[in-house]
Structure 1
Amino acid sequence: MHRKLLLLLVPTVCILLVATSLYLGHDHLTRLPKLHIPNRTSAIHTCNHCERLVSLPYPPYRNDNKTDMVVVDQGTVLPAKRIQPYISAILDPSSTELPRLECPALNASRYDVLKDMGDASASESGHIDYYFALDLRNCLPLLPRLLGSIVEAIRFLGPERCALSIVEGNSPDGTADVLQALSPFLEQLGFSYFYESSDINPAKGDRIRKLAQLRNLALHPLFNDETKNRTSAATTVLFINDVAACAEDLLELALARRALGADMTCAMDWTYVGPDPTFYDVWLARGMNGDSFFAIPPDGYWNAAWNLFWDAPETKARYDARLPFQVFSCWNGAVAFGAAPLMAEDGLRFRGGPQMFCKDLWARGYGKIAVVPAVNLEYSDGKAEKIKRLKGYTSDAVRGQAEDRVLIDWIPEPPGKIKCMPNWGNQFWRPWNESLQVS
């Protein structure tokens, strides 16, 4: 009788002890919501001085029995419980814990070709075929969509073939906390992640020069001792601004570069200065006639912003048909370009804005630069949703396009002169090769 009573009491006491310990320690726990990722194990870890999360999200392509645990500590700005929803959203495409632009499922059959590099030298084990580069500042709300799409694209391409380089600085909103906390999770996904915080502040001093420095910092891991033997001229660089992009937007830029034989492809980026969207990168984008994408009078009013390519009928026809078209220069929120000019002995680097970068590409014989109007981007989730409703998602825009119509009849020589615009009231034409980099 006593033995039976003892057997009943022992489990009861154990349950009470566990419940009491959890109650007393609940203030120290930060729980990661369930991720819809197969083969995941998770655990909670407590400490006396901080909130910590321990979780191991296994990516779908791995099936092993590792039990390593990842800890998210307090950030400099954000507590761990504020960081964890961003980690969840970035790693899990189906997460709805944080608001973000809704994106369609990837059309795998369209982008499968990107998994085959073709070049034997580029198929070597460990070679970085796709290098994603970003400079981010104070863009916490955008991270679930932007980084979530990049992670989705990398998973599709094959994590072992990809690298992600992010340079952050001057972010009082906690952007840096999330980017730092991501590191062990992304390493578990199997791709190289390079994160650097910089105190270079483009808001003070020479903005263009400092932005060039930040872009070069984001490219630096391409050439450092750790990765220089894993990158080559066959590597594709995807440089992405702080935009609300879907995974298909990024993959389409890479696919278009390959399909067109382009040296560089750009999206179209938009902003809302009123009820209707306006093309954003008008400062630096130039057509093959050397002119801006729309006319801006000296008074600076964008009344003609709706009339894109008003003086370039062939370009306008291709734009209206959502077909890629050649330009002298572009950036437009996101680009894909080959690493070959960067890998040369006198490797190309940013020494000014993107227009200068394109000018240097032309000077080195890389003038196959194209805009892909099927890819339309904006700089916030809410307005990106409006753009996607108006312009269509990339998958909508490319559906049914005939391959022979997509191809570009490349013009080998740049326009003789380019319109310069230091400000709206000071517009003038100069030779395209003025101020070229001297080898």
Structure 2
Amino acid sequence: MLRDFSNYMNVFDIKHTFVMENQPRPKIFHRIEYLAEIRNKALKPLKIERRKGRTDDVLELIYQYDFQESDFTCPLDFQAVKKKNNELEFRDSWVARDLRGEKFRSALDLLSYHPETRRRNEQKLPFQVQCSWNGVAILNPKPFYEKNPISFRRSYSDLGECSASECSLLCNDFWSRGYKRIVAVPEILVSYRLEDAILLDPVYDKALKVNRTLEEKIKYVNGPPQVICVGLDGNNRINPDQPKLWVNYTTSGTEIE
């Protein structure tokens, strides 16, 4: 059964390892030492991939969330543009905002003109943003269960709030609650279509050859005074239908302690 399941996962190019051993528990053993040895076998593939410079994408996001002491950590999402010979471009520019408050550009190697963001992205190192989502997010759970918990929502149109994406508004609510450390990890790319995902290997191979001279740890700075918002007011629409506006996004200031 496991062999059949392995073949099924191979069809979708999902990395996996099954370890099957027919070894009885030794007659003399220490429970913790014995269980630790068994559990560590599950970590061996991760260590091998780390030496190669590759890790499981979600595990890398969790690692960066912890290492960067962030509140909100995301990859980059992308799409292949058929009109450009399947060139890969950044996708979710409706949500992502850099430290100048501007939309991400489509070029994966030049997402932002913010100087530090540009340098770190060139070296495929995590960088600070005002907002990001991009298909996956590792979130600080506290804003969802503390007093007056937040949730995904529409804009408060009666208060004149720009009708941004629910993900943009979540970022803004994080800022207003004081959870302001939001990070994008350019080394991790996610797609929404299998035919796009299979195009990633050359991109990852290129990233492995990058000469990194900057520190991996982010030095957080204050957020932008305002951000660009492109609203979606109408019903039965997919894309924004309002002109871009520069708007305030937080009620607790843009300073990061």
Residue 98 of structure 2 corresponds to which residue in structure 1?
287
- Distance change in 2, residues 1:345/1:431 (3 Å): closer
3-state DSSP of counterpart to 1:318:
helix
What is the CA distance between 1:382 and its match in structure 2?
A: 2.4
Distance 1:284 1:410 in 2: 20
Contact kept, 8 Å, 1:368 with 1:410, in 2: the verdict is yes
- Distance change in 2, residues 1:428/1:305 (3 Å): farther
CA offsets 1:94-147 (integer angstroms, 9 cap, x no match): 324773135477xxxxxxxxxxxxxxxxxxxxxxxxxxxxxxxxxxxxxxxxxx
Q: How many residues are matched?
A: 196
Equivalent positions of 1:305-320 (< 5 A) are 305=107, 308-320=110-122
Distance 1:393 1:252 in 2: 17
Q: Which of 414, 417, 430 does residue 223 from structure 2 map onto?
A: 414
Q: Taking every aligned residue pair, what percent have the same amino acid on both sides?
A: 26
TM-score, with normalisation over the residues of structure 2? 0.66
Equivalent positions of 1:248-287 (< 5 A) are 248-274=56-82, 275-287=86-98
Residue 245 of structure 2 corresponds to which residue in structure 1?
428
The residue identity in structure 2 corresponding to 1:99 is: V
Contact kept, 8 Å, 2:124 with 2:210, in 1: the verdict is no
Contact kept, 8 Å, 1:341 with 1:361, in 2: the verdict is yes
What is the CA distance between 1:328 and its match in structure 2?
A: 0.5
Residue 383 of structure 1 corresponds to which residue in structure 2?
196
Contact kept, 8 Å, 2:76 with 2:188, in 1: the verdict is yes
- Distance change in 2, residues 1:306/1:323 (3 Å): closer
Does residue 370 (structure 1) correspond to residue 217 (structure 2)? The answer is no
Does residue 100 (structure 1) correspond to residue 12 (structure 2)? The answer is yes
CA offsets 1:363-392 (integer angstroms, 9 cap, x no match): 111110000111011112221010x22321
Distance 1:331 1:248 in 2: 19
Equivalent positions of 1:210-225 (< 5 A) are none
The residue identity in structure 2 corresponding to 1:343 is: Y
- Distance change in 2, residues 1:278/1:99 (3 Å): same
Contact kept, 8 Å, 2:109 with 2:122, in 1: the verdict is no
- Distance change in 2, residues 1:397/1:97 (3 Å): closer
Residue 335 of structure 1 corresponds to which residue in structure 2?
137
Q: Tell me, which stretches of 5 or more residues in structure 1 are unaligned?
A: 1-33, 37-87, 106-154, 158-245, 295-303, 435-439
- Distance change in 2, residues 1:310/1:327 (3 Å): closer
Contact kept, 8 Å, 2:98 with 2:112, in 1: the verdict is no
Distance 1:265 1:96 in 2: 31
What is the CA distance between 1:268 and its match in structure 2?
A: 0.5
Distance 1:398 1:363 in 2: 39
Distance 2:150 2:209 in 1: 32
3-state DSSP of counterpart to 1:391:
helix
RMSD: 3.1
What is the CA distance between 1:424 and its match in structure 2?
A: 7.3
Distance 2:15 2:205 in 1: 8
Q: Tell me, which stretches of 5 or more residues in structure 2 are unaligned?
A: 18-40, 44-53, 155-165, 232-239, 252-257
Q: Which of 124, 128, 144 does residue 322 from structure 1 map onto?
A: 124
3-state DSSP of counterpart to 2:73:
strand
Distance 1:276 1:287 in 2: 23
TM-score, with normalisation over the residues of structure 1? 0.40
Structure ranking higher in helix proportion: 1
CA offsets 1:230-251 (integer angstroms, 9 cap, x no match): xxxxxxxxxxxxxxxx981111
3-state DSSP of counterpart to 1:345:
coil
Distance 1:97 1:431 in 2: 46
The residue identity in structure 2 corresponding to 1:257 is: Y
**Highest CA radius of gyration, 1 or 2?**
1
- Distance change in 2, residues 1:369/1:283 (3 Å): same
- Distance change in 2, residues 1:253/1:291 (3 Å): same
3-state DSSP of counterpart to 2:130:
strand
3-state DSSP of counterpart to 2:215:
helix
Contact kept, 8 Å, 1:270 with 1:378, in 2: the verdict is yes
- Distance change in 2, residues 1:96/1:273 (3 Å): same
Equivalent positions of 1:165-180 (< 5 A) are none
Structure ranking higher in strand proportion: 1
